[in-house]
Every structure is written in C-alpha cells, then in structure tokens.
A and B are shown apart, each in its own frame.
Chain A
Amino acid sequence: MSVTSIRETPRSRKRIDGWRWAGRIFLFLMLLYTAVPMIWMLLTSIKSGFAAMQFPPQWWPAEPTLASYQKLLDPQNSVGQDFLRFFWNSLFVSVCTTVLAVVVAVPAAYAFSRFRFPGRRFLFFAVLLRNMFPAVIFLVPLFILMRLLGLVNTHGSLILTYLTFGLPLAIWLLKGFYDNIPVQLEQAARIDGATRFQAFFLIVMPLSVPGIIATAIYSFIGAWNEYIFAATFLTKNEQLTLPVGIQRFFSENTTDFPGLMAASFMMSVPVVVLFLILQKYFVRALTEGAVKH
C-alpha cells in the first residue's frame, strides 16, 4: 500500500462522517416535524376536556382517561351511535370501491401492458390525465348526473365517483406490474394450448397478486379519506362517511378537542394499519411506474 492512500483514507472518512451527521440531524428534525403533531393528537385524546384547555398546556396528561374513546365506541350513546354508523358507512363504500376498481382495472392494465391495439397510447394517457383534474371540476356535473340517475343520497353515487379517480391510478399501478412479468411465460402456456384468456387468468394473475394488493390498498385509502364528493352528494346524517361525519359532528361542538382528536385517531387507524402491514408491496408498486415507466 502506498503512502498517499494511507494518508487519504482518514481524510475521506472524516468527510463522509460530516455528511452522515448532517443526515442524522436532518432526519431527527424531520422525525420531530412528522411525529410531534401525531403524538400531540394522541396525548390530547386521552385528556379530559378541562385538562386540554389549560395554559400553559399540560404536556403530559396528568390524569389520562379513555373517556373520549368510550364515548365514540358506545352504541348506547348518541355520539357513539353516529360515530359507529359513519365508520361502517366508510368501510362499506371503501370496500365496494376497492373491489370494483380492481375488477375493472385488472383487464384494462393487462391490455395496456401486453396488447398493441391502435389508440392504446392515447387511451393510456387519457387515463393518466384524469389524475390531473381536481374533484371540484367534476362536482357540479356529477351532482346533476347523480340527480338524473336518482343516486343522490345513496352510497352508490360515491362508489361510482370514487371509481373515476381510483381506476386511473389502479390501471397505472397494475400496468407497471404486468410490464415486469415476462411475456415468455404466457407464450409458453399458449404453445401448450391455453387460450389467451387462460394464459392471462392462470399464469399472469397469480403472479400479479402483490400488485393487486397494492392497488387495492391505494383504492381503499383514497376512498376512505375522500371528503369533497361525500360532503356534496350526501345530506342525510345516517349516510355520512367518516370525514364528513366528523366535520358535521364537531362543527356544532368545537370545544371538545379531546373528542375530536380521538375521532381523528380512530379515523386514521384502519388506513395506517393497512399501510404498515403492506407497505412493501405498496411502495414498490407506486414507484415502479415512475422509475421504469
């Protein structure tokens, strides 16, 4: 080993250490920025209304209580009745949207990935462009359309609308997955006498299960968190989904911050849990399209 390389090693290590420390400090600050609001939500949700309204604030709840959660989850209580109903409505709408989005998107994404029919590029970009348009543009015409179809004040109107933004994303995510499954697998099946549909259904489908799971989570999260259409299409209290329900619910009674924080937490739990369990698939699918498009 030469003298220069011995002299250079400690210097370059020092430089890398500088970067590493900068990275660590930065990550710590980002952790604070990200986590403090969520921790504050949790801490507030286990305070009494009185304890939450103090100055200077009680950083740590002196007498933690689960009263807010009990109230929300108690079917005997009118607050709990509403909250649980909103919860089930959200669940119903989100599950229906997810199932339909996957059923419609799987064949479409497969076709966009494998077939070379005329107009394919145009249609695919048309699908992608949908993601660019805000809900507000569609709000008035869809409201009129739903009125025509007699769907105002039904969950059907939401499921149909959520498909419009769920589908393009689902198609985009799934196409990325199909692009990565070798065509040779289907060609081999075709040589063995399978029809094109059989090749798709028996060979490709099972391989794309991770992609389908990712797509399903994405649709579910999108539908679960949607606010603007639900706020417009639904007027009856018993139909509201969680985001709208919580808003209506607390706009009359804004002083109950522990209750509001508990409700926000409960609303976040299903999507965060789903996401944490399946994040590997999810992140892979989301980025596949962008990176190797």
Chain B
Amino acid sequence: MTVHTGYAGSAQAVRNKPPGLFQQMWASRSDYLYVLPAIVVMLVVIAYPIYYTVDLSFFRTPPGLQLRDKVFIGVDNYTTILSSDVFWRVTLNTAIWTLASTVIAFILGFASALALHRDFGGRAILRAILIIPWVISAVAASYIWKWIYHSDFGIIGAVMVQLGLVARQPNFIDNVNTVLPSLIVVNIWREFPFAMIMVMAGLQTVPDQLLRAAKVDGASAWQRFWHVTFPHLRSVSTVTILLLSVANFNSFIVPWIMTGGGPSNASHIWITHIYELAFGRQRWGVAAAYSVLLFIILMMLGYFYVKALSGNEKQEQGA
C-alpha cells in the first residue's frame, strides 16, 4: 500500500492490530459518502443493463419488444450465432478493422509525437491542427469522408483520374474489396491524434540528463532513442495501444454512417452488426447473445488493461 496519502491509512498505522474488514468499512463510512452518488449512477445504468443483457440472451422476444411474451430458449441464440456464416465474416472484418486501425494509428501518432517533440516555429499551431480530427464529431467526419470518397465528385478519385492512374472514378465505399480499407483510413484519421497526445506526454517524462549523458558518451540519435527514450515510453505505449484497440473494437459511428455495414456485409463489424440485429431486424435475443460474447472478449482485454495500469503503479512505487 502506498504511504503518500490518506488520513484513514495513517490512523490505521498507529493501531497495533490491523482491524477486520467490517471494522475498516465502518471506520471509513464517511468516505463512502463521497463516492456514493457515483456508485448509485453506475449501478443503475451499468450493472442493471449487464445483468439484463445476459438474461435476455436466453430468450426469444417478439419484434415489438413486448417483454411479457418472451420465450425461454436456452442457448439457442448462441448456437444460431456460431453456426452462421455472417458471424465469421463479421468477426474477420472486426479483427482486420481493430488490428489495422490500432497499429497504424499508433505508429502515426508515435512518429508525429517524436517529430513534434523538438521545438520549431509554428509547432503549437501544427500540433493543434493535428489534434482537431479527434475532437470533431464522428458524424461530421463520416460525412466529410463520404464526400471525399464520392463515386462521381470525390476529390481522391478526381486526383487519381487527373494523374492518369485510373480511367474513371473508383468507387471506394461501394466496392466489397475497398470498403474496409477506405473506412480504416477514416478511422485512423480520427484516432492517431489520441496516440500522439499520449506519447507526447510520455516524452516529457524522459529525463534530459540521461539523453545528454548518452550524447556525451557518443550515442547516435538512433541509439539515444532506442536505449533511453523508448524504454521510458513503454508503459504509456501499452496503455495507449490497449485504449485504442478497445475504442476500435467498439467503434460504431464511422462504419454505420458511411456504409451501414454494406455492401453485402463487407464493412460490418461486431458493433454495427449487433445494432442492426437489434434495432434493424428486431432480433433482440440474438443481439443480446452477441453482446454477451462481446462482453466476455472485452473483459479479457480489460484484464490486460488493468494489469498494464497496475504495472505502471508498481513501477512508480519502485522508483
């Protein structure tokens, strides 16, 4: 346990015998008042929905969501999912989407942070411009890119035609083969700034003396980066990559607004597919079962996330 804070902690340290759990809880009863409102909100709108989703996944519910008429069907919803072709298609899409977006967004963000680390004229303005895509609404971003990809008047296609690369405007997002990469480009546009901000913050924790010492010892720029800077960025990188992968795994607006999962499921990822099952086709039970599977995957990711975070904490305590 940390030493640096806490009245309750210091009060306990004075006593000889560590008090029991309930004594401790009673002793800190006033502490709970501070977190009580937050906990109540979280319980109502988080614990209840999770319980409810698990419950619903074992039922068949009529399209109008009349809950009185729901029928218990055991694990049928789960077997339906796992035996459908769409499931595997969507899973593959989700894997490509999540991996490609996360890796490329992280690399671009990381490189931008490094390039922006050295001071030069206009750095602050450049940084602000690079962050803007992350701030603006995903709905606006989707419309902007839809216009850029437009099959008749899109700017990318027009440039390609004018350069003589293609004979006529390519159809970026109505084509089964190009739709997913095209959407990934949009997603990376929105997300690399986040990686950039995180890595920039990490760069500030690299001690200057170490870099200077390495320089005096004759280390090249690359050696200094690899042996001094990079190790300091390890923990922030882990957290960033985890947060990015969770965000990508959960992204909805860009694929939904730009293509609605089409053409022929080529850009459906788990989230958009669940949404369509629930609110489009009103197959509530199947959608709930999907959500439970999603929940399990995310819990595993969450386990790594918590481990990465507590790793940081330990490192800090050791230092």
Contact across chains for B144 and A37 when beta carbons are under 8 A apart: yes
Answer yes or no: B81 CB below 8 A from chain A CBs.
no
**A191 at interface by CB-CB < 8 Å:** no
Q: How far is the CB of B155 from chain A (nearest CB, A)?
A: 6
Instruction: Please name the residue on chain A nearest to B186 by beta carbon.
Output: A37
Which chain A residues border B306 with CB–CB below 8 Å?
125, 128-129
Question: What 0/1 pattern do residues 269 to 293 of A give for CB contact below 8 A with B?
Answer: 0011001100100011011101111
How far apart sit A63 and B114, CA to CA, in the bound complex (Å)?
42
User: Are A57 and B158 in contact (CB-based, < 8 A)?
Assistant: yes
Contact with A along B40-82 (1 / 0, CB 8 A): 0110111011101100100000000101000000000000000
Q: How far is the CA of A168 from the CA of B45 in the complex (A)?
A: 12
Asked if B158 and A279 sit within 8 Å, CB to CB, the answer is no
B230: CB under 8 A from chain A?
no
Q: Does A15 contact B (CB under 8 A)?
A: yes
Output the least CB separation between B23 and chain A (Å). Answer: 10
Q: B246 at the A/B interface (Cβ < 8 Å)?
A: yes
Cβ of B155: which chain A residues have Cβ within 8 Å of it? 36, 40, 57
* In the complex, residue of chain B having the shortest beta-carbon distance to the beta carbon of A187: B7
State how many residues of chain A have any CB contact under 8 Å with chain B: 105
Q: Is the CB of B257 within 8 A of A37?
A: no
A123-B39, A135-B252, A164-B42 are known contacts. Are A140 and B53 too (CB-CB below 8 A)? yes
CA gap between A275 and B127 in the complex, in Å? 12
Taking the closest CB of chain B, its distance from the CB of A207, in whole angstroms, is: 15
- CB contacts (< 8 Å) of B144 on chain A: these are 37-38, 40-41, 261, 264
Residue A93 is within 8 A (CB to CB) of chain B in the complex: no
How distant is B149 from chain A, measured CB to nearest CB, in Å?
A: 10
User: A140–B25 contact, CB under 8 A?
Assistant: no
Give Cα A44–Cα B143 distance, bound, in whole angstroms: 12
- Measured CB to CB, the closest approach of chain B to A199, in angstroms, equals 10
In the assembled complex, B208 has its CB within 8 A of some CB on chain A = no
Q: Is B177 an interface residue (CB 8 A)?
A: no
CB distance from B258 to the nearest CB of A (A): 11
Complex contact B37–A104 (CB within 8 A) = yes
Residue with the highest number of chain B CB atoms closer than 10 Å, among A104, A125, A257: A104
Q: How far is the CA of A118 from the CA of B12 in the complex (A)?
A: 12
Question: Do the beta carbons of A183 and B4 come within 8 Å of each other?
Answer: yes
Tell me whether B140 and A283 are in contact (CB under 8 A): no
CA A161 to CA B140, docked complex, whole Å: 22
A138 at the interface (CB under 8 A from B): yes
Contact assessment for A134 and B250 in the assembled complex, using a CB-CB cutoff below 8 Å: yes
Cα–Cα distance between A12 and B221 once the two chains are bound (Å): 8
Distance in angstroms between the alpha carbons of A126 and B126 in the assembled complex: 37
Encode contact with A along B125-143: 1 for CB under 8 Å, 0 otherwise. 0101111110111111101
Please report whether the interface of chain A is mostly helix, strand, loop or mixed according to DSSP: helix
- A48: CB under 8 A from chain B? no
Inter-chain CA distance A101–B253, complex, in Å, is 23
CB distance from A102 to the nearest CB of B (A): 12
Q: Are A111 and B34 in contact (CB under 8 A)?
A: yes
B48 and A247 form a contact (CB under 8 A): no
Known: A41-B144, A117-B31, A287-B198. A15 touches B221 (CB 8 A): yes
Q: B148 touching A37 by the CB < 8 A rule?
A: yes
List residues 126-183 of chain A with CB under 8 A from any CB of chain B: 126-145, 160-161, 163-164, 167-168, 171, 179, 183
Is A260 an interface residue when CB atoms closer than 8 A count as contact? Answer: yes
Chain B, Cβ-Cβ closest to A130: B46
**Are A23 and B132 also in contact (CB < 8 A) when A37-B189, A141-B52, A267-B140 are?**
no
* CB-defined A-B contacts under 8 Å, sample of 20: A27-B115, A30-B192, A34-B129, A37-B133, A41-B140, A108-B37, A110-B34, A114-B6, A115-B8, A116-B9, A128-B306, A132-B250, A133-B250, A133-B295, A137-B291, A171-B38, A242-B137, A271-B136, A272-B136, A290-B202
Q: Which residues of A contact B (CB under 8 A)?
A: 8, 12, 15-16, 19-20, 23-24, 26-27, 30-31, 33-38, 40-41, 44, 52-57, 104-105, 107-108, 110-119, 123, 125-145, 160-161, 163-164, 167-168, 171, 179, 183, 196, 221, 224-225, 227-228, 232, 242-243, 246-247, 250, 257, 260-261, 264-265, 267-268, 271-272, 275-276, 279, 283-284, 286-288, 290-293
* Pairs A-B, 7 closest by C-beta atoms: A287-B201, A111-B34, A134-B250, A23-B115, A141-B49, A117-B28, A264-B140
Told that A140-B56, A267-B140 touch, could you supply 16 new A-B pairs with CB distance under 8 A?
Answer: A15-B221, A23-B114, A26-B111, A34-B132, A34-B133, A56-B158, A56-B161, A115-B7, A123-B35, A129-B302, A134-B298, A136-B252, A141-B52, A141-B53, A145-B49, A283-B200
